[in-house]
Amino acid sequence: MTAHTGTLTGTGYDVKAVRACFPILEERVHGKPLVYLDNAATGQKPQQVIDVVETYYRSINANVHRGVHTLSNLATDAQESAREAVRRHINARHAHEVIFTQGTTSALNMAAYGLGSLLLKPGDEVLISTMEHHANLVPWQMACERHGAGLKVIPITDEGELEPEIGRFLTERTRILAITHASNTLGTVNPVKEIVAEARKHGITTVVDGAQAVPHMAVDVQDIGCDIYVFSGHKMFAPTGIGVLYGREEVLDRMPPWQGGGEMIDRVTFAKTTYAKLPFKLEAGTPHIAGIVGLGEAVRWMAAHDLRAMAAHEARLLEHATRELGAIDGLRIVGTARNKVGVASFVIEGVHHYDLGTLLDQQGVAVRTGHHCTQPLLARLGLEGTTRASFAPFNTMEEVDVLVAATRKAVKMLR
């Protein structure tokens, strides 16, 4: 399938061509055209990703690296081609630095287990931020509990930005810094390159959660300089159940496997097991091959488009939504950082976010309500939950207007 390319043409963005790639956008909800604004939870899939997954199951389906027959070789080639596509997409040095996981959560648990075993001892510290998703908090709590280390938290401002001068939170006991690239609740984009550089001055190992960044911007892991960078496929137009842990070769070589089984071994006896080389040492068992193939195709779809133009379009959507939603009486935008991805979280005085989300759904508008797996962040802001609209390259200004009108209508019903 030939990809439709969304580009800046004159002063406009060819959003119609981008929308044409996504069949689900033709659906109707409660008799209304679907306005999908829940992209921070999961992204929609272009037709070419759907096609390649279907083709895999229809004409290739076989296990990888375990057979000499034709289908096994085709499956292996498809998987490793996807690995190379991901390597190029994030500019890793080597394909074997790309480890396939079940998603960001799985990747962060792998990182916490492996780095915790390597680096943590009683009295050491792991540093995270207040705005972390639970997936970049709970695994580090568990690692600290296992090794007698402590969890330290970088505070945020009322605007939703990290407190300045990160270096003052680093101590001689800090062993690991785990930070989100972009907040799923606030949209805040953190200056991870500068943060990583400061941590490396102190010899601190760095982990970056890129789940909300990779769908919205070009990511260069070598430029960032982190030791580990993780993200999910389903937020970047790929299937669910697949993700990536990128790690510098020298770090991954030292990390112990967090799962044992087939594929990750070199030789097994009852007395001792030796492990395979990267990436297989960290990929036990049969992988989600169809998901990997779909991820590779999603990366190719993104590569066929102008990511800067897409990001600029999303920024315009966010600006429009922030302005128009902010004009609603009693509505407050939560997260006003200077640098954001397309996430607009908000609360409305006298209106519960669940009730608002339900009424928006009745009007065909899909948003996310609740704490967004960031309970400590919302506690810092004195909130129990928000309504969150999150944008993708296929969303339009007209859809933002539908969101605003539907919100106004719902507020009149709920007050």
- Which residues are designated catalytic? 373
Q: Please say whether the beta carbons of 144 and 153 come within 8 A.
A: no
CA distance 218 to 177: 22
**3-class SS of residue 295:** helix
Q: Of 227, 144, 224, 216, which is closest to residue 187 (Cα–Cα)?
A: 216
Q: Of 415, 364, 401, which is closest to residue 25 (Cα–Cα)?
A: 364
Which residues, at least 6 apart from 343, have a Cβ–Cβ distance to it below 8 Å? 40, 183, 184, 185, 186, 187, 212, 318, 335, 388, 389, 390, 391
| Cis? peptide before 155, omega within 30° of 0 | no
What is the gyration radius of the CA atoms in the chain, in angstroms?
22
Q: Please spell the DSSP secondary structure of 233-280, one letter per residue.
A: STTTTS-TT-EEEEE-HHHHHHSPPSS-SSSSEEEE-SS-EEEPPTTG
Q: Of 187, 307, 185, which is closest to residue 236 (Cα–Cα)?
A: 307
> Looking at this protein, which amino acid is placed at residue 89?
H
